Amino acid sequence: MKKLLCILHRSPPMHGAAKVGDFIEASEKLKSNYDCKFITIKSSDSIADIGNLSFKKIYYIIELYFKVFIALLLFRPDKIYFTASVKGLAFYRDLLLSSLWKLYHLMTAVDIYYHYHTKGVDEFVSSCDRNLKLTNYFLKGANLILLTPMLKSDFDKTDSFNNIFFLPNGVGNPFDDTEFETFLQDKFSKTRGLNFLYLSNMIKSKGYNHVLELAKTMKSQPVQFHFAGGWQSQKEEELFTDFIDENNLSANVVFHGFVNGSEKEELLRLADLLIFPTRYKSESFGLVIIEAFSYGVPVLATDEGSIPYIIDNKCGVIIDNTDKLFGGLEQAKSNLLNKETAEYCRQRYLNNFSLEQFEINLVEVFNN
């Protein structure tokens, strides 16, 4: 059995790449095809730490360097899977680490795969010639794993990699078919107010502030807005609370904090619509969208990254500007909040974005 060394992010903190890393490490299908060793990339202890330099991060880099060195020396992998970063300190950390497997590659045949969970390579390499040269050096001889074909243009200025594979994310299945049908029957047989959900990190670039404005606009309607996610800034948390108080929104807005497990499941069961107006610069996929689909929940989102690849007009509404959020919401209310749409969302998830499909696709990438 061939040996696979996986160097990847794990939770905590909880973000898209960490969730995928958790899935990969737990994959029985991958372990049945390869002798796997996993090394966790430790970089930030919380969402607020991401992008900030600290002595602890420098220690984590040194620790990771020696873990990879020892793994190459003793485990002797045939394939290396690495969760790559596009810029900043994380890129230079990756560049340093790559020197280890580039040296290893001189002595041993090894296939190298860089899995990109964010976008921003084009912006980084366009900023100066040095960044382009360093990125081409980093990519030389490696295979790229991208989330969708929509992200391929991010690498148009680079030319040193080998192949590109496309691997859409997947999430676990919360229901079997009978359970889902029972859930839908119960959900759509009741007369109740609507529940709209924002489920992401509480940072403005993800768009929570725009959803809060929607809540203000619709406070006279039988609608409840649910916000769930961790804060990056105490000041923003205070402004959020003040806005609710100043506009008398306590009956319309519920803040749940960071949720996971059963709390998250309860919110997704309750939701009639997920609202995800992200303009996060590195947004490439939006894992929360396919989580919503797995519960039969349609999505209102911006056209950032690969989101137009995930959502079609039968399972959501895509807007090109957050100024159009209210209009998009009215469109979703008129066309998508019904049992037929819920069934379509669920089927789109099963066909394209289930964890089982992700595992099959991942193994196929390594087998190729």
Residue 92 burial (CB count, 10 A): 14
- Which two three-digit tokens encode residue 139? 């990519």
14-17 contacts at long range (C-beta below 8 A, 24 or more positions apart): 14/47, 14/230, 14/258, 14/260, 15/47, 15/50, 15/201, 16/117, 16/169, 16/285, 16/286, 16/287, 17/83, 17/117, 17/118
> What separation in angstroms does the CA of 78 have from each of 7, 94, 111?
14, 20, 6
- Which two three-digit tokens encode residue 105? 């590659």
Average pLDDT of the chain, as a whole number: 95
Distance CA 68, CA 230 (A): 31
**292: closest CA among 311, 275, 278, 274?**
274
What's this model's pTM, rounded to 2 decimal places?
A: 0.90
Q: Is the pLDDT of residue 64 over 90?
A: yes
Q: Is the pLDDT of residue 252 over 60?
A: yes
> What separation in angstroms does the CA of 87 have from each of 15, 55, 199?
17, 19, 26
Ordered DSSP codes for 320-353: SSGGGHHHHHHHHHHHTSSHHHHHHHHHHHHHHT
For the chain, domains (ranges, CATH) are 3-170+354-367 (3.40.50.2000), 177-352 (3.40.50.2000)
Instruction: Identify the weakest region by mean pLDDT among 49-53, 143-147, 171-175, 363-367.
Output: 49-53
Distance CA 112, CA 140 (A): 10
- Which two three-digit tokens encode residue 2? 């061939």
Q: Is 32 exposed, middle or buried (0-12, 13-18, 19+ CB in 10 A)?
A: exposed
How large is the average pLDDT for residues 306-326?
A: 97
* Residue 56, pLDDT score: 87
Q: Do residues 253 and 212 lie in contact, with contact meaning Cβ atoms separated by under 8 Å?
A: yes
269 phi-psi bin (left φ>0, alpha ψ -120 to 50, beta other): alpha
Note the helical H segments in 168-317.
177-188, 208-217, 234-246, 261-270, 287-294, 307-310
**3-class state of residue 154 by DSSP:** helix
Q: Is the pLDDT of residue 17 over 90?
A: no
161-165 contacts at long range (C-beta below 8 A, 24 or more positions apart): 161/114, 163/368, 165/113, 165/365, 165/368
Q: Is the pLDDT of residue 341 over 60?
A: yes
> What separation in angstroms does the CA of 16 have from each of 89, 117, 219?
19, 7, 32
How large is the average pLDDT for residues 75-100?
A: 97
**3-class state of residue 164 by DSSP:** strand
* Residue 236, pLDDT score: 97
Model confidence band, residue 54 (pLDDT cutoffs 50, 70, 90)? confident
Residue 327 burial (CB count, 10 A): 12
